[in-house]
Amino acid sequence: MTDRKPLLFLSQRIPYPPNKGDKLRSFAVLRHLSSLWDVHLGCFIDDPVDWGYIEEVKAYCADLFCVGLDKRWAKIRSLRGLVTGASLSEPYFYNASLARWVDKVLTEARPSAIFLYSSVMGQYAPKAGEAGAPRVVMDFVDVDSDKWRQYAERQTWPMSWVYARESRRLLAFDRKVAARVDASVFVSSPEAELFRRLAPETANKVYPISNGIDLDFFNPELDFPDPFQVGVRRVVFTGAMDYWPNIDAVHWFADEILPALRARAPDIVFYIVGGNPTPDVTALAERPGVVVTGRVPDIRPYLAHSEVAVAPMRVARGIQNKVLEGMAMGKPVVTSDQGLEGIDAEPGRDLLTANTASEFVEAVMRILTDSSTTAIGSAARRRVVSKYDWSDKLASYQRLLQP
């Protein structure tokens, strides 16, 4: 594109560094769109560490406006939803300064297109489809309302009621947003089909665009230092450890799976690798055979020198990047059906699946004791290379943003 036009990009979290699921996708899109458009990026920063990456993000933007999000105050603010009848997520992510900045960009820069990342950012965008209005594309990524439904099923009252209410109210909000925009994007075909069923009135403008993987970055041929203690068998879980589905997954593994594994092979150590571990996750390190690393500068050494990567997800929506990253690093991965959803991979060839504690034990022990399972890691890498290159997926965003 020789005639660069302005584009408004709104994200619920600063799209950098690309070290967790939502940031991997939002940064890939930002980097791509910035090569074609003059990007005006507005976003929240909910992790104080992320303020240190402002200069890196500015390199991709014509204009950048960041708003600090204090999670404790945001939770209090979200309670307005109980009074107004809105979802709790809407007031959690509402900021008057950001709204004023958006109005300024719309008035002065007059963007030709608007890209929204996460449905809660839809509350800042004008209605699409009116004469002279910019084209608006919403990347919902996941059907978050269904994730809240899953949370409700695993909680006791009163939180089960709160989560069930949030599921209903957030779906109602998402349907309103989908009706206002020109295109709604989801991270996989199953997610897109679920939303079409939940919001049939906008089914004709719902599109799946899968995540990709930076294959040069997640490259098993690179030389990584070994971060592990000597003489142990390394089972690794990677992910943000303040995210409830990840917390649930590592607790289930530590409670129900690891003891049976260590009864058969006492040298197995379960490494939980990811930033912002909650106190109950940190406490798992007090158990024999569990290491909680906290934030690490690079997860690749942990994947490169592991023997098996696990994703024992019991609550999940969309695509699990931890599964794709393990596969890209050529590692045998064991995941649940929930962790596999939306990923184009063949169980038994490209990875192993397990859904009960006993199935996880047998799958992990098979990888640790059967040398032929190294072929699974090689097949996994080939699958990711053939199916998850970012270039084709990013081109789909550009097509949707064009008038």
Question: What DSSP assignment string belongs to 266-278?
Answer: TTEEEEEE-SS--
Contacts of 219 (CB under 8 A, 6+ apart): 328, 329
The predicted structure's pLDDT at residue 129: 62
- What dihedral do alpha carbons 386, 388, 392, 397 form, nearest 10°? 170
* CA–CA separation, 209 and 317 (whole Å): 14
The mean pLDDT value of the chain amounts to: 95
The DSSP output letter for 351 is B
pLDDT tens digit string along 59-104?
999 999 999 999 999 999 999 999 999 999 999 999 999 999 999 9
Do 393 and 209 touch, CB atoms closer than 8 A? yes
Rounded Cα distance, 286 and 264, in Å: 21
pTM higher than the cut 0.75: yes
Q: Which helix (H) or strand (E) holds 292?
A: strand 290-294
> What does the pLDDT read at residue 343?
96
163-181 mean pLDDT = 97
For residue range 342-357, list pLDDT tens digits in order.
999 999 999 999 999 9
Q: Is the pLDDT of residue 325 over 70?
A: yes
Encode pLDDT of 18-37 as tens digits.
988 889 999 999 999 999 99
In this prediction, residues 181-193 reach a mean pLDDT of 96
Q: pLDDT-based confidence at 128, cuts 50/70/90?
A: low
How many CA atoms lie less than 13 Å away from 40 in the CB half-sphere?
19
Min mean pLDDT across 120-129, 170-179, 194-203, 237-246 is at 120-129
Report DSSP state, residue 106.
Answer: I
What per-residue confidence (pLDDT) applies to 391? 84
Residue 131 pLDDT grade (very low, low, confident, very high; cuts 50, 70, 90): low
Strands of 210-260 (E only): list them: 233-238
Mean pLDDT of 252-277: 98
Counting residues of the chain whose pLDDT is more than 90, the rounded percentage is: 94
Q: How confident is the model at residue 3 (pLDDT cuts 50, 70, 90)?
A: confident
What pLDDT sits at residue 1?
Answer: 42
Tell me: the pLDDT tens digits for 358-388?
999 999 999 999 999 999 999 999 999 999 9
**In contact, 271 and 302? CB cutoff 8 Å:** yes
Burial class for 156, CB neighbours closer than 10 Å (0-12, 13-18, 19+): exposed
What share of the chain in percent tops pLDDT 70?
A: 98
Pair 167, 220: CB distance under 8 Å: no
Look up tokens 């965003």; give the residue: 397
**Is 197 a residue whose pLDDT tops 60?**
yes
In this structure, the number of other CB atoms found within 10 A of the CB of residue 225 comes to: 8
* Mean pLDDT, residues 304-309 taken together: 98
Half-sphere CA count of 286, side-chain side, radius 13 A: 5
pLDDT of the residue at 133: 84
Q: Tokens 């260590």, residue? A: 262
Q: E-assigned strands of 91-231?
A: 113-117, 135-141, 183-186, 206-208
Tell me what the mean pLDDT of segment 324-331 comes to: 98
